């Protein structure tokens, strides 16, 4: 009786286990969504978290600077009636020049973050290439195409999820990679 119950249980659970295992397609042509591959990999998630933290710091800094400049502008406006027109103009022009310089500096910080994002994605593709090459060979493929550049394809040849799995196994979050130089 125990054997029959065990066999029935094993047979009933087999389709569930089988359905959970994905099989790498065997095809000459594969597709991958590199944006999804990056954003859903541990590497991409780490990069996104780091950049989000840096962007948060920059936004907080921008809010603080804006509050300081607004207060300074109000104080300057309040002093206007007490100052000679030429003296006020000189102070106002100096303030405006400082505001322009600060804006330029903050814009450059934002641009540095965007350049870092691009460098991280480029580094990811560099370190992912050998892993994708192995995946391609394991699938018997001759080429992996970017999914968004393909007009029509069988969804079965999309190996994005396989790529993410292998990238996570080999690279992890990529924090130990020395491919991306720090911000200038």
Residues 6+ apart with CB under 8 A from 95: 72, 73, 76
Helices (H), 32-177: 34-40, 42-79, 85-138, 160-171
Q: What is the mean pLDDT of the chain?
A: 86
Predicted TM-score (pTM) of the model is 0.73
pLDDT value of residue 21: 60
**What's the CA gap between 29 and 51, in Å, rounded?**
34
CA distances for 134 relative to 96, 129, 149, angstroms: 58, 9, 22
Report pLDDT digits (tens) over 86-123.
999 999 999 999 999 999 999 999 999 999 999 999 99
Q: What is the dihedral of CA 167, 169, 170, 174, to 10 degrees?
A: 70
| Lowest mean pLDDT across 21-30, 35-44, 86-95, 106-115 | 21-30
């Amino acid at each position: 009786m125990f054997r029959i119950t065990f066999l029935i249980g094993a047979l009933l659970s087999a389709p569930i286990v089988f359905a959970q295992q994905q099989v790498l397609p065997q095809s000459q042509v594969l597709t991958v969504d590199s944006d999804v591959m990056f954003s859903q990999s541990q590497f991409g998630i780490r990069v996104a978290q780091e950049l989000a933290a840096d962007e948060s710091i920059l936004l907080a800094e921008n809010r603080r600077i804006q509050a300081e400049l607004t207060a300074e502008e109000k104080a300057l406006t309040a002093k206007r009636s007490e100052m000679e027109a030429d003296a006020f103009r000189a102070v106002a022009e100096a303030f405006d020049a400082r505001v322009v310089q600060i804006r330029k500096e903050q814009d450059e910080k934002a641009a540095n973050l965007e350049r870092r994002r691009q460098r991280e994605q480029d580094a990811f593709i560099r370190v992912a290439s050998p892993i994708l090459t192995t995946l391609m060979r394991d699938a018997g493929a001759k080429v992996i195409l970017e999914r968004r550049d393909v007009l029509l394809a069988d969804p079965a040849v999309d190996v994005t999820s396989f790529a993410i799995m292998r990238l996570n196994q080999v690279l992890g979050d990529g924090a130990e990679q020395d491919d991306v130089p720090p911000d200038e």
